[in-house]
Amino acid sequence: MDLDLSSYFSQATRTYNNPSQIARKVTETWARDNLYCPRCGYPLEPYKDNTKVYDFYCDHSDQRFLLASTSIDDFQLKSTKSFPYNYFPSKLIGAEYYTTIRSLEEGVFPSLILLHYDRAEMEVQDGLFIHRLSVTRNSINQRKPLSERAVRRNWVGAEILLNNIPEIGKIDMIHESRIIPKETVMSGWTSVERVFKGDLENRGWISDVMLVVDELPEVFSLDDIYSYTSRLGELHPNNMHVKDKIRQQLQVLRDQGYLKFVSRGKYQRMGH
């Protein structure tokens, strides 16, 4: 992996004038040449321009041995320049809202690749994989509808709230111009798949409890987490047994090595 974008910029500026087209071309070709699938480690395959809904995919098969694959993972690339954020914005612009929710429900929402680059330095400075399983209903927000006079009058946009995705689901591959070892990235990816199981509702519970745990001190009590009961209840209005659900998620998190039970009613968050 090479974080230098200068050759990509000089190539793209020969073909395009529009800055956003240039940025798109640069990050897309850089990603094609440098990124790997966080699950199996093979290079990501770009979708052909005229067929694509998403940007990259991996079928996790080793082409050299022609192993049959059982599944395909889709990836969507989103990139930001340093100015004005110097990292990632907390909200990413998504697609149409109802389409996005439907793709979550049907389990076809893609994993995301986030790149942050510096235009002046011509360098990729931060990169994240966001595992699709860690994105839940609570991570998607409805944007304000377009005005009456807008052409697409009934079109409602979605935004992806990075703060409503638990830390475990956001896997660093580049951090402040430092490349994270591939094995670390791949083991992070596997942890997400161990923790986030079941349907969207199940994953929503895990995610929402995890977001609370991420906010609490490293060692916390059952009462600490119970103080979020009403907030969690609002997120899951059809569930009457919020405290039971909370304890059930803590059990799952413990079984997956994300939490340790220190003593009766005391928990410790483990590194991951």
Of residues 132 and 245, the one with the C-beta less far from Zn ion: 132
**From candidates 25, 39, 137, 170, binder to Zn ion by CB under 5 A:** 39
Task: Please calculate the CA angle 108-111-114 and round it to the nearest 5 degrees.
Answer: 150
Q: Which backbone phi and psi does 198 adopt, to 5 degrees?
A: 85, -165
Question: In the beta sheet, which residues pair with residue 73?
Answer: 58
- Give the C-alpha separation, 192 to 247, whole Å: 20
Whether the bond into 19 is cis, omega within 30 of 0:
no
Q: How many residues bind Zn ion (CB under 5 A)?
A: 5
**From candidates 1, 40, 122, 161, binder to Zn ion by CB under 5 A:** 40
Q: With binding defined as CB under 5 A, does residue 91 bind Zn ion?
A: no
**From candidates 36, 47, 54, 60, binder to Zn ion by CB under 5 A:** 60
Q: With binding defined as CB under 5 A, does residue 185 bind Zn ion?
A: no
- Smallest CA-to-CA distance from 31 within 2, 10, 60 is with 2
Question: In the beta sheet, which residues pair with residue 93?
Answer: 159
Minimum distance from CB of 33 to Zn ion (Å)?
17
**From candidates 22, 37, 135, 173, binder to Zn ion by CB under 5 A:** 37
Handedness of CA 88, 169, 52, 7 (dihedral sign): positive
Of residues 75 and 88, the one with the C-beta less far from Zn ion: 75
Of residues 76 and 164, the one with the C-beta less far from Zn ion: 76
Q: What single-letter amino acid sits at 212?
A: V
Of residues 73 and 159, the one with the C-beta less far from Zn ion: 73
Of residues 39 and 170, the one with the C-beta less far from Zn ion: 39
List interacting residues with Zn ion (CB under 5 A). 37, 39-40, 58, 60
